[in-house]
């Protein structure tokens, strides 16, 4: 949705050494400086001036829980308190609309059964605040997520790894692909 200009980080780095006269106003010298100081010399606190905001749609609540473990990020999440009405009012549940599927038939069927039971609970007058305790982890949600470049590098290193949850690996690649072209060089070593 939004990102900070690389010139802000170059300015922050040049502030430390008062080297503004060496700037080429966001050109190759400034880009190389950001990479050298932030990545090569590991003064990555300077990368905290770069901030990215993503709109993430269609992830599971299980993935949301994993995202919340990355503390240097801000999350604004779709409220189940206010949005379970759509499930309650459905006459025939479109499972693809509400659930993230794993590809494991037993797990996916258990999620469908849980969703059926949740809808029944809602139709029997249980409030959303109480009914949401019956949500399957595969229930889809969405959020606006803001993270600085230093934390995003850490996130991508950890979550693009083969040992990470498959859904997290997919998200990591999608986040990288959504970055502005001129920013990607800062994240290439994360994969």
**Residues 6 or more apart from 86 whose CB is under 8 A from it?**
none
Which residue in the list 36, 71, 81, 159 is annotated as catalytic? 159
Please say if 159 is a catalytic residue. Answer: yes
Question: Following DSSP, what letter does each residue of the chain receive, concatenated?
Answer: -EE--HHHHHHHHHHHHT-GGG--SSSHHHHHHHHIIIIIS--GGGGGG-EEEEEEEEEEHHHHHHHTT--SEEEEE--HHHHTHHHHH-SS--HHHHB---S-HHHHHHHHHHHHHHHHHHHTT--HHHHGGG--TTBEEEEEEEEEHHHHHHHHHHHSSTTS-HHHHHHHHHHHHHS-GGGGGGTGGG-
Rounded to the nearest 10°, the torsion over CA 53, 59, 65, 67 is -30
| Token pair for 136 | 């399957």
Catalytic (active-site) positions: 159
């Amino acid at each position: 949705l939004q990102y900070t200009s690389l010139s802000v980080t170059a300015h922050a780095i040049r502030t430390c050494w008062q080297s503004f006269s060496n700037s080429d106003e966001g050109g190759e010298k400034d880009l190389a400086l950001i990479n050298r100081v932030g990545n090569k010399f590991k003064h990555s606190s300077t990368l905290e001036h770069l901030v990215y905001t993503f709109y993430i749609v269609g992830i599971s609540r299980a993935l949301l829980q994993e995202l919340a473990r990355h503390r240097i990020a801000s999350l604004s999440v779709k409220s189940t308190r206010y949005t379970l009405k759509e499930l309650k009012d459905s006459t025939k549940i479109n499972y693809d609309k509400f659930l993230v599927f794993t590809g494991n038939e037993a797990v996916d069927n258990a999620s469908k059964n849980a969703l059926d039971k949740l809808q029944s609970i809602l139709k029997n007058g249980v409030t959303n605040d109480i009914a949401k305790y019956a949500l399957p982890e595969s229930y889809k949600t969405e959020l606006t997520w803001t993270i600085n470049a230093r934390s995003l590098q850490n996130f991508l290193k950890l979550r693009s790894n083969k040992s990470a949850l498959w859904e997290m690996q997919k998200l990591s690649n999608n986040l990288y692909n959504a970055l502005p072209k001129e920013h990607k060089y800062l994240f290439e070593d994360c994969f």
